[in-house]
């Protein structure tokens, strides 16, 4: 039987965590939920041994990636950027292509600025983009809501943290399933 071509597949998927930084995090809507769900994504991708990338927008002004997620991220430096879109961030998009990643799960802040511009540029560069709505945020509800509508109208897939993780699992017969199930409870 055929599977739908938009279902996330391990050999094609990567996670991009955008700009979850100290000085801006606390003014985001539902920032505690955001942090919890981003950590679920990070830990789930680690369990599944899938690539994770993370960025920092102007860290001199906005500070480093928050310590609430940094310990869960893979070792290495954040990809630093001054542009809102990650498309110009130190060869990130080329790195995604070089690693044969076609499906990018995007989380982070702010939904209507850096996340939005990155999602649009990923779509323009022929990536399938999945945006878990419980793993992005903005300061204002109107900005968050308008971002969701635009993501969908521009071809991104609107989803949730749990849906992403279970799509990547695809079955319940593995040790990974038990680990992921514990994450989402």
Active site residue 19: yes
Cα–Cα distance for residue pair 183/48, rounded to 1 Å: 13
Per-residue pLDDT tens digits for 81-113: 999 999 988 889 999 999 999 999 999 999 999
Torsion of CA 182, 127, 68, 48, to 10 degrees: 30
Catalytic-role residue among 86, 107, 114, 121: 114
How confident is the model at residue 6, as a pLDDT?
95
Query: Active site includes 12?
Result: no
Question: Is 0.85 surpassed by the pTM of this model?
Answer: yes
Classify residue 142: in a domain, yes or no. Answer: yes
Residue 156, domain member (yes or no): yes
CATH of the domain at 144: 3.40.50.850
Q: Which domain holds residue 124?
A: 13-184
Nearest alpha-carbon partner for 64 in 97, 128, 21? 21
- Which residues, at least 6 apart from 104, have a Cβ–Cβ distance to it below 8 Å? 13, 14, 15, 16, 96, 122, 127, 128, 129, 130
Instruction: Please identify which of the residues 19, 40, 121, 134 carries the catalytic annotation.
Output: 19
pLDDT of residue 33 exceeding 90:
yes
114 included as an active-site residue: yes
């Amino acid at each position: 039987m055929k599977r739908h071509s938009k279902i996330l597949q391990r050999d094609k998927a990567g996670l991009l965590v955008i700009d979850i930084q100290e000085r801006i995090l606390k003014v985001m809507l539902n920032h505690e939920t955001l942090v919890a769900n981003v950590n679920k994504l990070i830990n789930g991708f680690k369990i599944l041994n899938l690539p994770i990338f993370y960025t920092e927008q102007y860290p001199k002004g906005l500070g480093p990636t928050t310590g609430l997620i940094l310990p869960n991220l893979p070792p290495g430096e954040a990809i630093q950027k001054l542009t809102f879109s990650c498309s110009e961030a130190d060869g990130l998009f080329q790195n995604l292509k070089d690693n044969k990643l076609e499906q990018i799960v995007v989380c982070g802040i702010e939904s209507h600025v850096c996340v939005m511009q990155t999602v649009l540029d990923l779509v323009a560069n022929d990536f399938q983009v999945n945006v878990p709505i419980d793993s992005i945020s903005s300061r204002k509800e109107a900005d968050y809501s308008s971002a969701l509508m635009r993501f969908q109208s521009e071809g991104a897939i609107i989803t949730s943290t749990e849906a992403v993780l279970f799509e990547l699992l695809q079955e319940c017969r593995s040790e990974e399933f038990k680990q992921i199930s514990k994450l989402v409870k």
